[in-house]
Amino acid sequence: MNTSTIEIRVRYNECDPMGVAHHATYPIWFEMGRTEHLRSQGRLYGDIENEGLFFVVVDLHVQYKKSVKYDDVLSLATVVEDCTPARLRHSYVLTKENEVIARASTTLACVDSKGVVHRFPESLVR
Amino acid sequence: MNTSTIEIRVRYNECDPMGVAHHATYPIWFEMGRTEHLRSQGRLYGDIENEGLFFVVVDLHVQYKKSVKYDDVLSLATVVEDCTPARLRHSYVLTKENEVIARASTTLACVDSKGVVHRFPESLVR
Amino acid sequence: MNTSTIEIRVRYNECDPMGVAHHATYPIWFEMGRTEHLRSQGRLYGDIENEGLFFVVVDLHVQYKKSVKYDDVLSLATVVEDCTPARLRHSYVLTKENEVIARASTTLACVDSKGVVHRFPESLVR
Amino acid sequence: MNTSTIEIRVRYNECDPMGVAHHATYPIWFEMGRTEHLRSQGRLYGDIENEGLFFVVVDLHVQYKKSVKYDDVLSLATVVEDCTPARLRHSYVLTKENEVIARASTTLACVDSKGVVHRFPESLVR
């Protein structure tokens, strides 16, 4: 299955003077979604780094639909849209009580510790 | 003039275990770019909030080209691409010694303290 | 009961180029501990703010014993040490698999939206 | 000279729903103070890490006196209180227009990439 869902509770420090979660917090949540999606497939991102490979974000697109507040409980669905040897694309839907808060997508590349581009591990490519 | 440029020095805590600035830090820098762009036009975003209006990010797109490290000094050019009563669009070019690190764009909407959409202040609309 | 315990999973962006959780992240976790401790007593900090009172940290002391890494699962025990009308003191023990990672304490004061000092709500004072 | 002073402008995302800089932001500023203090002595912390040594915070104490808001300009004075082979102690005074916002102190230890404790570089010890 290529979708996984996690629950996120908005932290106080993640909110700004408008009283809502700051927009730069969302990419952090999406990264948590990727971590848990990998885990749901029996992989740990930490293991991948220990093997000398790093996944770097090369493209990020977020559409913010509604704001959320401190202590709100959100649901984040993370989907692997595509994985070629060169690119790993995810999409995200963040909801609160079934209302869409944000939609987003990221594209990742795979590099080694010196920043040299590598192919994604075979097990992730479909 | 609708462009302004600021200098940013990468903070230690903004960098991650890869040793490079985390991708969620960039939107924070872009927000700094908007703050200074307004200031360069003789406006303070704080004053706008004190008048009861808030600018919220409704769309964010970032293309990451190169990574940067702790203590690197970057240059961020912020451009107002368009301002209608409904939308304020900026674009950004982040460079390090004339090499492009990232390109980005944001779209902002204007709301009041209850989240109700308002027109952007006349003085910003062109 | 005046102790509560929460579980925390270390986020990737919370870690720095040393590969360990940055020390400025810990106070964020302690704040989460206070939020959940209040909830365990049937109170929501958000409700307190909605009533016009704010708890502000006036003193923070952290002793860092061991470092932790991305994806580590930690346990944070939060204890109310003392609550007078003027001061609310908590202590914290952060552990990983029963090994102490950090010990900390905070002192909070109660203010209104203008920063004027108030007494803590009667229900919290012992 | 063992004191150095830097200017800090409060970022929007550093502020919380109370409209003031979140208390977990201050340790980030203190770290910036240490970076610039080293630089004022002709040393770069990045160079020290490149040589395989890392300075880790083992103790942090902050006393918060006044709050600050978005776009406030602060002055941070960083002082080396003591440097033995085992411990490097700094103190900090954060001010805004000569009013004290916070006082703080940190104690650092020196470790290698595996976390093994080392002596501080001779040039820093007095």
Give the minimum alpha-carbon distance from B57 to chain A in angstroms, rounded to a whole number: 7
For residue C49, give the 3-state DSSP assignment: helix
**Which pTM value belongs to this model?**
0.97
Query: Residues near C49 by Cβ (< 8 Å), separated by ≥ 6?
Result: D17
Neighboring chains of A (3 or more beta-carbon pairs < 8 A):
B, C, D
- What would the mean pLDDT of A36-57 be, rounded to a whole number? 95
Spatial separation of the C-alpha atoms in residues A92 and A73, rounded to whole Å: 16
Residue A12 confidence (pLDDT): 98
For residue B48, give the 3-state DSSP assignment: helix
For residue C19, give the 3-state DSSP assignment: coil
Tens digit of each residue's pLDDT (9 = 90 or more) over D92-122: 999 999 999 999 999 999 999 888 999 999 8
Q: Round to the nearest angstrom and report the end-to-end CA distance of chain D.
A: 12
Nearest to A30 by CA among A82, A87, A108: A108
Residue D126 confidence (pLDDT): 65
Answer yes or no: A16 catalytic.
yes
**C-beta of residue B118 within 8 angstroms of C-beta of residue B112:** yes
Give the minimum alpha-carbon distance from D46 to chain C in angstroms, rounded to a whole number: 10
Give the minimum alpha-carbon distance from B20 to chain A in angstroms, rounded to a whole number: 10
**Which residue of B31, B56, B64 is in closest CB contact with A57?**
B64
The domain at A3-116 falls in which architecture?
Roll (3.10)
- What would the mean pLDDT of B7-26 be, rounded to a whole number? 97
Is domain C3-124 in CATH 3.90.226.10, yes or no? no
Spatial separation of the C-alpha atoms in residues D7 and C113, rounded to whole Å: 27
Beta strands in chain A (DSSP E): 3-9, 53-64, 73-83, 88-96, 99-112, 117-118
Tens digit of each residue's pLDDT (9 = 90 or more) over A62-102: 999 999 999 999 999 999 999 999 999 999 999 999 999 99
- Closest residue, chain C, to A70 (C-alpha): C46
ipTM of the complex: 0.96
For residue A51, give the 3-state DSSP assignment: coil
For the cut 90, the answer to whether the pLDDT of residue B2 exceeds it is no
Q: To probe the interface with C, which of A10, A13, A48, A50 has the most C CB atoms within 10 Å?
A: A13
Residue D102 confidence (pLDDT): 98
Tens digit of each residue's pLDDT (9 = 90 or more) over C57-103: 999 999 999 999 999 999 999 999 999 999 999 999 999 999 999 99
Residue C1 confidence (pLDDT): 58
Tokens of D121: 């570089």
**Which residue of A27, A64, A115 is in closest CB contact with B24?**
A27
The DSSP bridge pattern shows strands D99-112 and D53-64 to be antiparallel
Spatial separation of the C-alpha atoms in residues D103 and B13, rounded to whole Å: 21
A13/D24 Cβ within 8 A: yes
Beta strands in chain D (DSSP E): 3-9, 53-64, 73-83, 88-96, 99-112, 117-118
A69/C46 Cβ within 8 A: yes
With contacts defined as CB-CB under 8 Å, which chain A residues touch C28?
11, 13
Residue keyed to tokens 């869409």: A100
With contacts defined as CB-CB under 8 Å, which chain D residues touch B11?
28, 31-32
Q: What torsion, rounded to 10 degrees, do the Cα atoms C71, D30, D118, D121 define?
A: 140
DSSP code at position B21: B
**C-beta of residue C61 within 8 angstroms of C-beta of residue C96:** no
For the cut 70, the answer to whether the pLDDT of residue C126 exceeds it is no
**C-beta of residue C24 within 8 angstroms of C-beta of residue B15:** no
Q: Residues of C with catalytic annotation?
A: 16
With contacts defined as CB-CB under 8 Å, which chain C residues touch A12?
31, 35, 45
For the cut 90, the answer to whether the pLDDT of residue B119 exceeds it is yes
Tens digit of each residue's pLDDT (9 = 90 or more) over D13-24: 999 999 999 999
Q: Residues of D with catalytic annotation?
A: 16
Spatial separation of the C-alpha atoms in residues B125 and C22, rounded to whole Å: 42
Name the pLDDT band for B8 (thresholds 50, 70, 90).
Answer: very high
Angle at C16 between CA D51 and CA A64, to 5 degrees: 150
Tens digit of each residue's pLDDT (9 = 90 or more) over B62-95: 999 999 999 999 999 999 999 999 999 999 999 9
CA max distance for chain D: 45
With contacts defined as CB-CB under 8 Å, which chain C residues touch B71?
none
**Which residue of A17, A62, A115 is in closest CB contact with B60?**
A62
